[in-house]
Amino acid sequence: MHEQSLVRSLLKQVESLRCEYDGGCVSEVRVEIGPLSGVESLLLLGAFELLSNGTTADGATLVVDEVPLMAKCKSCSHAFEINNFVFSCPLCGGNVKVTSGEEFLLTSVSFSGDPVQNELSTAVEKHETASAQRSER
């Protein structure tokens, strides 16, 4: 269940984009995950709903795009989708570089309405403080 700590990082980035672009309420957050991102879609959605509560992303929809694991051969440059986690080139057997499916990416944030006149001390930070206090105990 490490999705919660990932969602904390995600909410921080969403908040930083909201400040950067002077956005209003966050209405949609879109992310990309792949088979090697270490993120499970359902757990992510649950953690987002829980942790966005009381933040400027409260009520926002989280859209999760699942991308395939893609790679490119370092020897012959063949680009292909990796199936069954076999990380070698199906044409020449060469070593490959993974080009997608390994990361957990924030891909877009939608804002609706006027900029929220809010201070930087958002509920995300409150969550962190509460969590830090819990771990101190």
Partner 1 sequence: MTTTKTITVRRDVAAESKADAGIERLRLGRRGTLVVNLLSSPGAGKTALLEATAKCFGGERSMAVLVGDLETDRDAQRLSPLVPTAQLTTGGACHLELPLVRRGLDALGDPQVDFLFIENVGNLVCPASHDLAEHLRIVLVSTTEGDDKPGKYPKMFRTSDTMMVTKLDLLPHVPFSVEAVIEDARRIQPDLDVLQACAIDGTGIRTWCDYLVSERTKRLAEFE
Query: How far, in Å, CA of 115 to CA of 104, rounded?
Result: 27
Q: Are the C-beta atoms of residues 69 and 81 closer than 8 Å to each other?
A: yes
Structure tokens at 19: 């400040």
What number of other Cβ atoms are within 10 A of residue 6's Cβ? 20
Contact between 104 and partner 1 by CB under 8 A: the answer reads: yes
Query: How far, in Å, CA of 13 to CA of 111, rounded?
Result: 14
Contact between 41 and partner 1 by CB under 8 A: the answer reads: no
Contact between 81 and partner 1 by CB under 8 A: the answer reads: no
CB of 53 to partner 1, least distance (A): 19
CB of 39 to partner 1, least distance (A): 8
Q: Which of 19, 24, 64, 78 binds partner 1 (CB under 8 A)?
A: 24
Contact between 74 and partner 1 by CB under 8 A: the answer reads: no
